[in-house]
């Protein structure tokens, strides 16, 4: 009898130990990271599709249903999701994922952000005094967040802690393997004119200058006056214009005609089921556009 | 086997503590280095430096990742331990072709408990309708708190002040304090959430200017189902004019001058009104919401709700000394649906919101008309039993026709069923009133909005009128995320 109970308890324990962690990621890039770190020990669901601006989503019942059953929510943080995630979490009625609990993860807390401590003055646009949240555009910071995520996954599922850490190391190694190639391809790039302060991280990582922003202020669509000032400042120089797929194309197209620069509009997130390979090809596509033709 | 697992966990733990400690030390050194390069950071941002000496990443990232183990760090800007504060200003300008008639039949007791001067009604001319000041934050790991003050030029009132639990198990949540009930869809929304300048008639006349806003306790449950469902019950004080009007015990009192030739005398007439002083809770409500998952672009939510008030008391005092009272109970029930489409455009371009609600209420009342028969007693001159049966609904839709712009239309119907009583006790069908509204809104950013609205009111008593309104609303400070 005792044997049976022991076996049963062991089986139960094994079941608990091996049950997949239910992970909810806010944006597809964080979903890809969670998938890569968690491997087959996690089940990942993504709240926002890749072609939306994560600043301006709305809390929806389907998000709340997903969060209700989550063991952990993996967010970018630094107030990127502030307009919807807190409401979705409150509607999810799940104590595991409340702020301050192990099941609440903000990746931006774990990496060095740029633009920290800018004045919290909305006359300067929709600013993020906590720092620029788009760190996921820098593959090295992305890998760095992977270690923090592995550690957090490990605290929720201690049996798999070493497995998660090994996965984080493999992400790190693969990123380290790619970075020199990307830097080489970006060498002698003239610089990039961005729509919003989002690809700054990638450009810093590749040592490519940021030539300016099509938005006059963060969150404010381009004005004719601002576009004219960009033209007068940059005409005669070389560069390329980057616009994310969810941002309006018109400003970039106009400047492309006026300056004679190539204008590219590409995704900044992998698809909702994406993994690290998809992330690499997303970065690849951006880096490709930096090639200097001459 | 179990022993091994524990052994393993302990080893990992000891190792990680040791690593964290050693890394924390080097982390400090790293931070100093970082501060030293801080001043140069901006000047180097444009021309950049080689990756080997990246000023943005002076400490190898691996080390820093391990150093940051805690979760108890501040998570919002500049608030630290202070609550997040937001201020929303709402200015209106309104011009009506006629004095506004209220749709007839909805104000039991001659209009007491309702008036356009107070609350969220829009008045003619320029007005600072309200300044809504909201404080929100976490009290401790177990409770969140929210307080909303409504400041008008002559008044300060607590619109909402409640706590919600964070740590209850099994998908349960308790809300306690003064709050807007979760019945229906629009009831719990504040002025700045509305897609029109004013509230639907249904909310205004079936509940009252403030909606169903009561002190009490709510328990709600979200089961762990793939489709979102939420069930809730509320135990409320019961003081909402439309469904739980309350007077309480008290005396009916008038003062007259008895004409005594040459030297008139002041005489006080005083008698008990006869209302029972039922201590709250008097109003009990329940609601259920269900939202199937329609993917990333579409969202729909269905809701149903109901409530019972064990007291409904209303009175009308005439200068003659006559006292009319209505005393009984009330119940209501209804349904709501909201559909949202994410147009994937910039600044709301292509978005669609369609919502509709229906509500029915029934009041079972004992009507009495009483007059003084002596200085201290009343005699009933007229009495009967009255059953008031009424309903209201609205359907509205808003479409983002350009970035930053949206336009919408709303149909209000009040009193498809509108059976009530005239004061003498005659049963009457008060008839159906209609309102047709159109609005256009422009929001330069998500923090400010200008809206113009026109309505045509076709009131059941035969009157009609046009209403024109302008609204400017703006949001200052840390404004929390909006619920669906």
pLDDT, residue B259, reads 72
Tell me the pLDDT tens digit for each residue of A141-172: 999 999 999 999 999 999 999 999 999 999 99
Strands B143-152 and B228-236: unpaired
What's the Cα-to-Cα distance from A83 to each of A70, A113, A154, B299, B481, rounded to whole Å? 20, 20, 29, 17, 4
> Closest by alpha carbon to B441, among B300, B343, B347?
B347
Count Cβ atoms within 10 A of the Cβ of residue B50 and give its class: 0-12 exposed, 13-18 middle, 19 or more buried: exposed
Nearest to A195 by CA among A237, A229, A231, A244: A244
A58 inside 8 A of chain B by CB:
yes
Give the pLDDT score at A70.
94
Of A95, A122, A247, the CB nearest to B447: A122
* Distance separating alpha carbons of residues A266 and B135, to the nearest angstrom: 40
Interior angle at CA B112, CA B106 and CA B114, nearest 5:
65
Q: Which of A87, A61, A67 is nearest to B300 (CA)?
A: A61
In this prediction, residue B162 carries a pLDDT of: 95
- With beta carbons less than 8 A apart as the criterion, state whether A133 and A78 touch: yes
Put simply, the answer to whether B222 touches A92 (Cβ < 8 Å) is yes
- ipTM of this complex prediction, to 2 decimal places: 0.82
Section A208-216 average pLDDT = 90
Under 8 Å CB-to-CB from B447, ≥6 apart: which residues?
A: A122, B474, B475, B476, B479
- Count the alpha carbons within 13 Å of B449 in the hemisphere toward its beta carbon: 26
The predicted structure's pLDDT at residue A121: 67
> Which of B481, B473, B476, B483 lies closest to B129, judged by CA?
B473
Which residue ranges form the domains of chain A, and what is each CATH number? 2-178 (3.40.50.1980), 179-288 (3.40.50.1980)
SS3 B281: coil
Give pLDDT, residue A9.
60
Interaxial angle between packed helices A139-156 and A276-288, expressed in degrees from 0 to 180 and rounded to the nearest 10: 170
Q: Distance (Å, rounded) from C-alpha B434 to C-alpha A156? A: 57
Measured between beta carbons, which residues in chain A are less than 8 angstroms from residue B294? 62
Matching residue, tokens 């099509």: A214
Residue pLDDT, tens place only, A58-103: 899 999 999 999 999 999 998 889 889 999 999 999 999 998 899 9
Q: Do B403 and A87 touch (CB under 8 A)?
A: no
What sign results for the dihedral spanned by CA atoms A94, A95, A100, A103?
A: negative
**Contact criterion met (CB below 8 Å) for B403 and B378:** no
Whether A62 has its CB under 8 Å from any CB of chain B: the answer is: yes
**What pLDDT is attached to residue B392?**
95
pLDDT band at A119 (very low <50, low <70, confident <90, very high): low
How do beta strands A21-25 and A192-194 pair? Answer: unpaired
Omega before residue B281 within 30° of 0, cis? yes
CA B309 to chain centre: 20
Average pLDDT over residues A198-213: 90
Q: How many CB atoms lie within 10 A of CB B481?
A: 18
- Nearest chain B CA: its distance from A257 CA (Å): 22
Q: Is the CB of A51 less than 8 angstroms away from the CB of B5?
A: no
Q: Which residue of B has its CA nearest to A192?
A: B46
Residue of A nearest to B59 (CA): A112
**Chain B interface includes A85 (CB < 8 A):** yes
**DSSP states of B121-171:** PPPSEEEEEEEEEEEEEEEETTEEEEEEEEEETTEEEEEEEEEEES--STT
Q: Which residue has the tokens 């000394």?
A: B321
3-state per-residue secondary structure call for A173-198:
HHHHHHHHHHHHHHCCCCCEEECCCC
pLDDT at position A217 is: 86
Candidates A61, A102, A128, A175: best to mutate against B (most CBs of B within 10 A) is A61
Task: Specify the pLDDT at position A127.
Answer: 66
Q: What is the DSSP letter of A20?
A: P
Question: A65 and B228 in contact by Cβ < 8 A?
Answer: yes
pLDDT score of B179: 96
Per the CB < 8 A criterion, the answer to whether A73 and A24 are in contact is yes
Let me know: does B240 contact B281? Beta carbons within 8 Å: no
User: Which of B76, B171, B340 is facing A68, going by the closest CB pair?
Assistant: B171
Contact between A100 and B71 using a beta-carbon 8 Å cutoff: yes
* Chain B positions in Cβ-Cβ contact with residue A92 (cut-off 8 Å): 222
Angle at A44 between CA A40 and CA A47, to 5 degrees: 170
Calculate what percentage of chain A has a pLDDT beyond 70: 89
A58, B214, B476 from B174: Cα distances, Å: 24, 15, 29
Residue of B nearest to A102 (CA): B71
pTM tops 0.90, yes or no: no
Query: What pLDDT score was predicted for residue B119?
Result: 39
Classify residue A252 as left (phi > 0), alpha (psi -120 to 50) or beta. Answer: alpha
Closest CA to A48 of B225, B484, B299, B297: B297
Spell out the domains of chain B, with CATH numbers in brackets: 2-67 (no CATH), 84-477 (2.40.160.10)
SS3 sequence of B14-42: HHHHHHHHHHHHHHHHHHHHHHHHHHHHH
For chain A, give the mean pLDDT.
87
Consecutive 10-residue runs of chain B (484 residues): their mean pLDDT? 44 43 38 38 37 44 39 44 83 84 77 40 84 88 91 87 93 96 94 92 91 95 94 95 89 80 79 86 96 92 96 88 90 97 87 96 92 86 90 96 94 93 80 95 89 93 89 83 76
């Amino acid at each position: 009898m005792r044997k049976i109970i022991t076996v049963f308890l062991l089986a139960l324990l094994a079941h608990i130990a091996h049950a997949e962690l239910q992970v909810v990621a806010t944006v597809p890039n964080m979903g890809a990271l969670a998938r890569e770190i968690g491997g087959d020990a996690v089940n990942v669901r993504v709240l926002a599709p890749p072609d939306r601006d994560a600043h301006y989503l709305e809390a929806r019942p389907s998000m709340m249903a997903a969060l209700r059953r989550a063991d952990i929510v993996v967010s970018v943080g630094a107030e990127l999701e502030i307009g919807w995630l807190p409401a979705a979490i409150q509607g999810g009625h799940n104590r595991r994922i409340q702020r301050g609990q192990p099941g609440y993860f903000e990746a931006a807390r774990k990496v060095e952000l740029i633009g920290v401590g800018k004045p919290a003055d909305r006359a300067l646009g929709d600013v993020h005094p906590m720092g620029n949240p788009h760190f996921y555009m820098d593959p090295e910071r992305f890998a760095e967040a992977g270690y923090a995520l592995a550690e957090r996954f490990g605290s929720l599922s201690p049996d798999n802690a070493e497995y998660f850490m090994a996965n984080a190391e493999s992400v790190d190694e693969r990123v380290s393997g790619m970075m020199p190639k990307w830097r080489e391809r970006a060498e002698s790039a003239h610089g990039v004119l961005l729509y919003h302060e989002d690809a700054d991280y990638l450009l810093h990582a590749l040592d490519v200058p940021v030539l300016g922003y099509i938005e006059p202020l963060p969150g404010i669509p381009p004005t004719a006056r601002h576009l004219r000032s960009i033209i007068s400042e940059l005409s005669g120089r070389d560069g390329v214009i980057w616009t994310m797929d969810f941002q309006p194309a018109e400003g970039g197209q106009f400047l492309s005609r006026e300056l004679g620069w190539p204008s590219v509009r590409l995704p900044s997130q992998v698809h909702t089921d994406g993994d690290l390979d998809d992330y690499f090809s997303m970065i690849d596509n951006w880096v490709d556009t930096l090639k200097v033709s001459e | 086997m179990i022993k091994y697992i524990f052994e393993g966990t302990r080893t990992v733990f000891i190792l990680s503590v040791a690593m964290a400690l050693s890394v924390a030390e080097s982390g400090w050194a790293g931070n100093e280095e970082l501060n030293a390069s801080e001043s140069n950071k901006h000047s180097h941002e444009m021309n950049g430096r080689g990756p080997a000496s990246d000023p943005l990443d002076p400490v190898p990232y691996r080390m820093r990742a391990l150093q940051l183990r805690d979760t108890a760090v501040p998570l919002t800007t500049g608030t630290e331990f202070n609550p997040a504060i937001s201020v929303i200003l709402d200015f209106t300008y309104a011009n009506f072709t006629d004095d506004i008639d209220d749709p007839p039949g909805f104000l039991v007791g001659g209009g007491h408990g309702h008036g356009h001067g107070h609350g969220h009604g829009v008045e003619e001319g320029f007005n600072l309708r309200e300044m809504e000041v909201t404080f929100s934050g976490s009290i401790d790991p177990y409770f969140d708190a929210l307080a909303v003050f409504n400041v008008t030029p002559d008044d300060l009132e607590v619109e909402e002040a409640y706590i919600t639990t964070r740590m209850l198990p099994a998908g349960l949540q308790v809300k306690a304090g003064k709050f807007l009930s979760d019945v229906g869809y629009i009831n719990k929304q504040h002025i700045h959430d509305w897609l029109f300048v004013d509230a639907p008639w249904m909310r205004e006349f079936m509940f009252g200017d403030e909606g169903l806003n009561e002190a009490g306790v709510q328990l709600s449950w979200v089961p762990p189902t793939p489709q979102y469902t939420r069930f809730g019950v509320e135990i409320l004080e019961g003081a909402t004019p439309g469904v739980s009007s309350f007077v309480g015990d008290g005396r009916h009192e008038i003062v007259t001058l008895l004409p005594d030739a040459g030297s008139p005398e002041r005489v006080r007439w005083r008698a008990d009104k006869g209302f029972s002083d039922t201590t709250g809770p008097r109003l009990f409500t329940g609601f259920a919401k269900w939202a199937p998952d329609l993917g990333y672009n579409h969202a729909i939510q269905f809701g149903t709700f109901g409530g019972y008030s064990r007291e409904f008391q209303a009175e009308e005092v005439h200068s003659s000394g006559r006292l009319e009272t209505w005393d009984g109970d009330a119940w209501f029930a209804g349904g709501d649906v909201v559909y949202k489409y994410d147009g994937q455009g910039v600044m709301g371009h292509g978005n669609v919101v369609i919502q509709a609600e229906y509500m029915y209420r029934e009041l079972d009342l004992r009507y009495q008309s009483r007059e003084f028969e002596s200085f201290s007693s009343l005699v009933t001159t007229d009495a009967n039993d009255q059953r008031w049966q009424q309903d209201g609904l609205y359907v509205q839709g808003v479409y983002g026709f350009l970035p930053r712009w949206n336009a919408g239309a709303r149909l209000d119907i009040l009193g498809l069923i509108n059976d009530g009583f005239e004061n003498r006790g005659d049963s009457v069908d008060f008839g159906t009133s209609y309102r047709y509204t159109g609005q256009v809104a422009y929001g330069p950013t998500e923090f400010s909005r200008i809206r113009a609205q026109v309505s045509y009111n076709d009131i059941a008593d035969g009157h009609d009128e046009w209403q024109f309104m302008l609204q400017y609303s703006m949001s200052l400070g840390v404004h929390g995320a909006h619920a669906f």
